[in-house]
Structure 1
């Protein structure tokens, strides 16, 4: 593309941030509170040759701006920021470094780790307090001006808008989901288009899930150490471009415009099938790392504003993330940046919500975590973001970083207490019935306060971070050697059991026991009060060979394997359970349960021991007994007879006689598949509940 560039830049608007093609030209606006001068650098279409530099106007309330007439979409550019290089004061300006626009919607170039990407001299005795004079522009990533979004209908116009009580989440990696699916055409496997393919959507519909939670799809780069080990950051938790989809997940990855279009088409296809799209987003840190890291964008634009710095030594980054730096979301302009990014993905790309990685970082103030922090307040009142799903990973790596149950408003939260309790109950009966009952009823001890609802508890058995369902029933210890970190990475002591053999086994008894436990746990998950979330591949017993931290395994280890043994495909069980949830409001548990002493309760729960009597206080703490049942009663109004369900749990390794509460009961589902649906146990005699099974009955 041949570009005729004017001699001078005209004053522009200080909003919106980034680049905007308008009025036969392009407007630029970039934030820097401490820069003394800011330059716009324009490149040829290949991003190789710098054609011209223009000083930007400003600052206008810390915003530098300019308007370049006679150009439009497709223009390639970057910034150079001039200011003090005073690491001891938190300032690391170095105009020798070309900086990527934080608001770039299209990013061009191929990033490789080079010494000149650092603002200081590698190997210098003064370390990150030294100054590097080399220009990195030839190898730096650059922004490209995008076409203004079409003035057509909003991509959210046909969004499913699933009510929270009906939501069934399915966490997945875009690439890993379809890379090994034989029913997806080869050119589409591992791409946004592969997820949008009818075969992929048909699988999701068969399961009964109605929302996919995608691992990060923002533009990311790999950490330098991974390249040394010939690995990549497969999961994607290393975002550099917060407005651009990752081109490595697209068919035509060399054309940023085509990448954006493919992503939007994927969202539209999922919406048409009644499936929502939730993004895992990483606003807590960036790839620039700690003070020894590179200068790629934010650090060079205004290090002291973008990052939290240690109070006693402002040359050092505060590390609340375990990744070297922490984004300073408490700063008003950084708050605006995050909100602008979120709104972009909703309004332009069409997504339906977000899962916030290390979410307590977003509520960190100078006094620690605050559920009423300015960022949360701004997001909750935002007219766009207040209408989509908000999910928190409720822990970070800093002091007082575990904040489960302490997020505001409509936030849902990943409930790791549910995961660990349910695993321990079914794997080796290491928890009491009382602890299990609390988790099964949406962890009311954690979430039942204020106006929060049971749906706030996102219940899961396994997610990307940890063992798969198959592995937590096949391995007793982690096997992360392939990650190249001497098996030191990943969670130690993660609840798991191998049932007699470490890894795959040909022993029929071991395989049968593993299957029973997996089925019981899946049934527990999908009948529990709260919002259930499945991990892609658990329905077919996908294994990662015991690797519980496959973040760098962009290969068959990290991809879903779709060829289960005939007895290890749980798709039909999941379909049955999700269908029951959808058909019966009593199994969606929309409100907190009332006690049976409440007159005509809308919904109540009562617990029974195997003898058939109601559980007494001492029963909850009897360590030798683990089997029990809960009866759910639900009525729409005082004139309607209550709908009654009985859920019996037997984690023991042998069948157990169980006396049912009074009533005519009929079996709806047995996770062990030993009792046929429709069977009516004789009254008043006991019924034999299979070992390691959940049995669902209806009155």
Structure 2
């Protein structure tokens, strides 16, 4: 049976009425005086029930200010244009809601709310017309594909077992070389070629960039190429129409999104939704501001709008309305769309308490759900740093993971300078930061934190709390970074260093994460921030799979090796400290041993050596006979030969992996 109402008891049990009032603002704050008085009501807001449809009637329920002179509901025949079929004045319930009931079957009709600041679909529309200007009344049960009720993954995932593949819908499939029918659409991920590619690569989680209704692509002009990553939210709880085959039909985008999820689940692949609750596309015309002005956004001490997002505004998660909106929105995506996890954009803008409540909610109700995010903000927030979900505060959020930029920048160089290299560019000085990342950002007795690039103390309580990566969407991809930071790099050298970087990522104790197309040596023509660049920059060239087969083979075998041997994903800080031993290294050389079986029945004393120097290195290892499984850009678990300790030679700009 589909759940349509949020179970609020869990939220109410977390805070007493007095705490509810205290967590809101004082009555001296004129913008929020009503909420200070109505704290308990605000805590129990049910955004999820803003529009409740049945064939007999539709009930509309809107959280809006008591001082609103009039709240008007308008019913339309179409998603844009035309005059209202019906105009209804909504009644105030004496607490926080305006309500209206419209008799008859409104399925297929559209609606807007108006509190005097302009029409909009409200804050929790579940379906919208083209470009999201009007809400749509749909029967959600009718959007379920066949077999949908049996689709959900219920098995709780061990985070250490995840291999995450980050993609943008358009990048992945838009190029003619993809051979896919539904180019740039949700349905591309239902096609056999796409599914087979992901399965052959070996990833088990697909992270899709923002897929909710966003502002920067005009859905009425899809014949004209348009591109954006989608970090400009409008309607948070509706799939974006530009990725559907018909943005004018509100049910189509919903059903096609579900078909995409179902196809991935059938292939054993979980799906992660990139969510952007830290800001809206703009402030004054946002649905939040039009419905209930000022309560969803933070202000600085001098009364100006704060901009910790770097996008002109920042939301106020510590206040009950925004906190409950986030809780209910994320739960809705899991309940209605069977989403398995979330990547929280600029998680450092949100408060720790909100993130912990989200984590606790899923632990109770949907324990298979996992959460990771960016442990930083894009600017100063109007909220105490020690209460924000920053990377430095991750130990206060034991159920959530964050991106490890120490490992990323130790490998390829700083975010702030594309031309400056680091370990894989053969520049010494980042070895200790690389060791910190290999350990999963936990405290380790052999890591000297005084030499780590961004953190002077370990921030992860468990190794799976660190997302391990070397590139993602909002930066140069790995190939472009190598070309920018290694003068005169040859194609052969580029491939060697690319494979070396990913070896560090996939043998680390964090959760490995790769950007789509890296397995095909993707480039973006050197563009650092390609959020609105054309397809010619962002598209993945699938012919690279034939051009560089050794790259895909290495990535696939690296992923397979990680999956087959638990030593690479111990998942527990004490086990990592017990089994992960760093061997003597040097400039441009990091080596470690996974000793005492480390969870493997067949491989003992696994040794990984990463050599970024331009010459071969002779490395001291514990005495014994070893089977080599990685050397010269080739991985073969059956073995590539044997070597005898106490020394082993490691070719230039490459990795050696071997075991006893």
Specify the TM-score bucket, using the shorter chain as the normaliser. 0.7 to 0.9
TM-score of the two chains, using structure 1 as the length reference:
0.77
C-alpha contact (below 8 Å) 1:170/1:533 kept by paired residues: yes
Judging changes above 3 Å, is the alpha-carbon distance between structure 1 residues 241 and 438 closer, same or farther for their aligned structure 2 residues? same
Q: Is the 8 A contact 2:343 2:372 kept in 1?
A: yes
- 1:634: how far off? 4.0
- In the alignment, the residues of structure 2 paired with residue 30 and residue 534 of structure 1 have an alpha-carbon distance, to the nearest angstrom, of 41
Over 3 Å counting, the alpha-carbon distance change for 1:44 and 1:440 in structure 2 is same
- Residue 309 (str. 1) matches residue 296 (str. 2): no
| 1:650-692 CA-partner distances (Å, limit 9, x unpaired) | 1110011223311211101115349997344553563321001
Aligned to 2:8: none
Structure 2 CA distance for aligned equivalents of residues 641 and 676 of structure 1: 11
Please tell me whether residue 149 in structure 1 is matched to residue 130 in structure 2. Answer: no
Relative to structure 1, is the Cα distance of residues 310 and 684 closer, same or farther in structure 2, using a 3 angstrom cutoff? closer
Q: How has the CA–CA distance of structure 1 residues 543 and 679 changed in structure 2, closer, same or farther, with 3 Å as cutoff?
A: closer
- CA displacement at 1:21 relative to structure 2: 0.8
Q: Give how far 1:169 is off.
A: 0.3
State the match for 1:669 in structure 2.
630
Question: Which residue of the partner structure matches residue 551 of structure 1?
Answer: 531
Which of 143, 155, 178 is 2:173 aligned to? 178
The structure with the largest helix share of the pair is 2
* Among 488, 504, 515, the residue aligned to 1:524: 504
Indicate which of 411, 421, 435 corresponds to 2:400.
411
CA distance in structure 2 between the partners assigned to 1:520 and 1:149 by the alignment: 48
- Find out whether 1:356 has 2:350 as its counterpart: no
Distance 1:182 1:60, change over 3 A: farther
Residue correspondences, number: 577
1:258-407 counterparts in 2 under 5 A? Answer: 258-289=252-283, 294-313=284-303, 316-363=304-351, 371=352, 373-374=353-354, 376-382=356-362, 383-384=364-365, 387-399=368-380, 400=385, 403-407=390-394
**Structure 2 matches for 1:65-214, cutoff 5 A?**
65-82=99-116, 94=117, 97-110=118-131, 141-149=133-141, 154=149, 156-158=151-153, 161-180=156-175, 182=177, 184-186=179-181, 188-214=182-208
One of 45, 64, 74 as aligned partner of 1:41:
74
CA contact (8 A) 1:14 1:64 kept: no
In the other structure, the counterpart of 1:88 is: none
Segment drifting more, 20-29 vs 254-263:
20-29
Q: For residue 473 of structure 2, what is the aligned residue in structure 1?
A: 464
After superposition, the Cα gap between the structure-2 partners of 1:430 and 1:36, relative to the gap in structure 1 and judged at 3 Å, is farther
- Contact 1:279–1:355 (CA<8 Å) still a contact in 2? yes
2:582 alignment partner in structure 1 = 607
Structure 1 or 2, whichever has the larger Rg, is 1
Does 1:18 pair with 2:39?
no
1:377 offset after TM fit, Å? 2.5
* Cross-structure match for 1:138: none
CA contact (8 A) 1:160 1:276 kept: no
Tell me, yes or no, if the aligned pair for 2:349 and 2:389 is still in contact at 8 Å. Answer: no
Structure 1 residues 346 and 570 mapped into 2: Cα distance closer, same or farther (>3 Å)?
A: same
What are the superposed Cα offsets for residues 81-120 of structure 1, whole Å, 9 maximum, x if unpaired? 04xxxxxxxxxxx3xx212222112211447xxxxxxxxx
**Alignment deviations for residues 233-288 of structure 1 (CA, whole Å, 9 cap, x no partner):** 51000010111101101122321201100000100000000000001000011112
| C-alpha spacing 1:73/1:60, structure 2 compared with 1 (3 Å) | farther
Structure-2 separation of matches of 1:301 and 1:347 = 25
Distance 1:59 1:285, change over 3 A: farther
How far apart in 2 are the matches of 1:172 and 1:301?
A: 33
Distance 1:206 1:181, change over 3 A: farther
Match of 1:248 among 202, 219, 242: 242
Q: Report the equivalent of 2:427.
A: 429
- Secondary structure of 2:483's aligned partner: coil
SS at the partner of 1:523?
A: helix
Corresponding residue number in structure 1 for 2:547: 566
Greater CA deviation, 16-25 or 62-71? Answer: 16-25
Kept in 1, the 8 Å contact 2:73–2:90? The answer is: yes
TM-superposed CA distance for 1:533, in Å, is 0.2
CA contact (8 A) 1:211 1:276 kept: yes
So what's the TM-score if we normalise by structure 2?
0.81
- Name whichever of 669-678 and 15-24 sits farther off: 669-678
Seen in structure 2, the aligned counterparts of structure 1 residues 180 and 15 have a Cα distance that, compared at 3 Å, is closer
d(CA) in 1 for partners of 2:652 and 2:280? 49
Query: Are residues 195 and 60 of structure 1, via their aligned partners in 2, closer, same or farther at CA, if it must alter by over 3 Å?
Result: farther
Say which SS state the counterpart of residue 593 (structure 2) adopts. strand
- Change in Cα spacing, 1:661 to 1:171, as seen in structure 2 (3 Å) is same
> Is contact 1:217–1:246 with CA below 8 Å preserved after alignment?
yes
Deviation at residue 18 of structure 1 after TM alignment = 1.9
Matched, 1:653 2:614: yes
Residue 301 of structure 1 deviates from its aligned partner by 1.0
Distance 2:514 2:56 in 1: 49
CA distance in 1, matches of 2:72, 2:169: 37
User: Shift in Å at residue 159 of structure 1?
Assistant: 5.6
Q: 1 CA distance for matches of 2:522 and 2:598?
A: 41
With over 3 angstroms needed to count, the CA separation of the structure-2 counterparts of 1:469 and 1:666, relative to structure 1, is same
Structure 1 residues 652, 375: CA separation in 2 closer, same or farther (over 3 Å shift)?
A: closer
Shift in CA distance, 557/470, structure 1 to aligned 2, threshold 3 Å: same
Alpha carbons 2:210, 2:231 under 8 Å: kept: yes
Aligned position for 2:517: 537
Q: Which residue of the partner structure matches residue 683 of structure 1?
A: 644
Offset of 1:335 from its aligned partner? 1.7
Instruction: Decide which moves more: 390-399 or 446-455.
Output: 446-455
2:603/2:659 contact within 8 Å kept: no
Moved more, 576-585 or 230-239: 230-239
CA gap 1:181/1:441 in 2 versus in 1, 3 angstroms: farther
What is the root-mean-square deviation of aligned Cα atoms in Å? 3.0
What is the distance in 2 between the residues matched to 1:252 and 1:580?
Answer: 42
- Cα distance, 1:435 vs structure 2: 2.5
Are 1:160 and 1:275, in contact at CA under 8 Å, matched by a contact in 2?
no
